[in-house]
Amino acid sequence: MATRVKELCDICYNQHITSEAIIFCSKCDEKLCERCRANHSVARLSRKHECITLENFSKLPKFVQNTKLYCKAHDERYEYYCFEHDEPCCISCFNGMHSECPYMSSLQNGVKNIKFSQEFCDLERKILDLIHNISKVIADRRENLQELKNQKIKFRQAIRSARATVNAILDKMEHEITMKMYKEFAEKESDIENLLEIFERYFSIINKSKECLDTIKSFATDFQALIGARQISIDANCVHKATRKVFKGKHLTHVKISMKPAALSLIKSKLNSLGTLNVKYFSRKLSYEARWIGYAAITMKSPDIQLKAKFSVTIPGFEGTKKLNISGCCILKNGDILISDSIYDRLLILNSNGDLRNQVNLTFIPLRTVYLNYAQIIIAPYNEKQLYIFDVEKDEISKTMAYDETLPLKLISMKDNDILGQHDSHVFRLLYSNGDVESNSKSKVFDSDLHELVCINDHIYYGKQTRWDRKQT
């Protein structure tokens, strides 16, 4: 078991006294020994401070333990939180570098009951959901890995079985061709041996006839020679006829027997593998489970935001002489301004000086627009269950994205790389790029108006807008 490092009392240490600390005061940001704890618990300024034992303090994550309550620059306690810079600040910082920051809040009010806030509960649910989903993925992947191991064993067995089948077929083929070989060789050898036996007998007869003829020539009388020659001639004629018959036939053709490996060429051309790999992908068994459309970061309650006009433009030709309804507006990367007009179903593109650069007529009624990237704008049309993608460089609609919803979206904003939308039922939808809808959440808007919508850092901001009407001017 690891031994806890001995911590010293901060107050005693500053007095050059070595005393072991037992508690930690988060308000004072100091560790206290038993004696200092007793004084700390009765002093008027510190009696209500919440303290925890060092044993529990050591259980906190390191980044939480290292959280400081005092400003490094001024050594003063943090009193405010700047939402613009997303950092706490002391009074000196508040009066100095943060003096012109518009969004400031008191830390005392901001952190009150933070652990019981909706955002903290959402974060807890998010962690639990992540644990649940990650655990499911781990279990599912382990299951699939075990399945693959079992399938590998079966695969190797199938290979051996296929090899055994091929071996059996080859053994059978070998036996058949061997038997044919023996039969053919036996027949041909027998024919030759029979002919050889006959001709050896012929040779013996003719050779004996020659000896007789030589003897008759040397020792017989003429009469004896006549009678003997006639008899020898009869035998010679018989052998001559038989021999000519053999020479005229196919008996003297040389026989060559060999194997033409037709089976090997067939195997190479037809049976080039014992099998093929068949990989199938089945639809996933898991679905991502989340109990909230998005998890807000733990922040303090933001003060009311006061908007200031940065610049204004006048649309040429529309200075009160024609009707115009601006239903959406985007600032492009090059500084141009894209405006959707729901009266004349068009997009107006102005330069930064307010001069009309281009007008794009549409086949649908444009409602809201949102900036997707440097070259694309998303447009939500009126009463259609699809979104239009406008190509800024080509000044045309490049594609559409349909979605499955009961009511068409009227308000849209980007949340990371996904689309956050809202329709007349005051319900948020998180729409992915493939058109799938992840989940929904009731909004806090319950009046009869639509509201301008923007999502920044998982926070949704509204700008009030009267309900859109095509007859509105």
User: Using one digit for the tens of pLDDT, what is the confidence trace for 206-234?
Assistant: 899 888 888 988 888 888 888 888 888 88
Centre a 10 Å sphere on the Cβ of residue 195 and count the other Cβ atoms it contains: 13
Residue 3 belongs to a domain: no
Please check whether residues 96 and 157 belong to one and the same domain. no
Position 160 confidence tier, pLDDT thresholds 50, 70, 90? very high
User: Looking at 270, 290, 318, which one is the last position of a domain?
Assistant: 270
Please check whether residues 99 and 173 belong to one and the same domain. no
Residue 305 belongs to a domain: no
Cα angle vertex 124, ends 123, 126, to 5°?
A: 60
Please check whether residues 105 and 128 belong to one and the same domain. no
Higher local confidence (pLDDT), 199 or 354: 199
Please check whether residues 342 and 434 belong to one and the same domain. yes
Report the greatest alpha carbon distance in the chain: 174
Decide if pLDDT at 80 tops 80: yes
Please check whether residues 104 and 152 belong to one and the same domain. no
Position 166 confidence tier, pLDDT thresholds 50, 70, 90? confident
Q: Which residues of 167-185 are buried (b: 16+ CB within 10 A; e: fewer)?
A: eeeeeeeeeeeeeeeeeee
Which residues does 140 contact at the CB level (< 8 Å), separation at least 6? 285, 286
Residue 167 belongs to a domain: yes
Decide if pLDDT at 174 tops 70: yes
Residue 402 belongs to a domain: yes
Please tell me the least confidently modeled range out of 20-24, 47-51, 71-75, 307-311: 307-311
Please tell me the least confidently modeled range out of 83-97, 256-270, 328-342, 425-439: 425-439
User: Looking at 50, 78, 112, which one is the last position of a domain?
Assistant: 112
d(Cα 167, Cα 158) in Å, to the nearest integer? Answer: 14
Closest to 458 in 3D by CA, of 123, 18, 222, 43: 123
pTM of the entire predicted model = 0.46
- Is 309 in a helix, a strand, or coil? coil
Please check whether residues 157 and 23 belong to one and the same domain. no
Each residue's pLDDT tens digit, 398-419: 888 887 666 677 677 777 667 7
Mean pLDDT of the chain: 79
Give the type of residue at 80: Y
Please check whether residues 97 and 177 belong to one and the same domain. no
The number of domains in the chain is 3
User: Looking at 245, 270, 295, which one is the last position of a domain?
Assistant: 270
d(Cα 408, Cα 421) in Å, to the nearest integer? Answer: 9
Strand residues in 332-408 grouped as ranges (E)? 337-341, 346-350, 356-361, 366-373, 376-381, 386-391, 396-402
Domain holding 58, by residue range, is 10-112
Centre a 10 Å sphere on the Cβ of residue 362 and count the other Cβ atoms it contains: 18
Chain center to CA of 242: 90
Average pLDDT of the segment spanning 278-283: 71
Please check whether residues 144 and 108 belong to one and the same domain. no
Please check whether residues 106 and 132 belong to one and the same domain. no
Closest to 239 in 3D by CA, of 192, 198, 196, 190: 198
Position 425 confidence tier, pLDDT thresholds 50, 70, 90? low
d(Cα 252, Cα 260) in Å, to the nearest integer? Answer: 24
Residue 281 belongs to a domain: no
Please check whether residues 86 and 159 belong to one and the same domain. no
Please check whether residues 167 and 56 belong to one and the same domain. no
Strand order in the sheet with 376-381: 366-373, 376-381, 386-391, 396-402
Please check whether residues 196 and 247 belong to one and the same domain. yes
Residue 247 belongs to a domain: yes
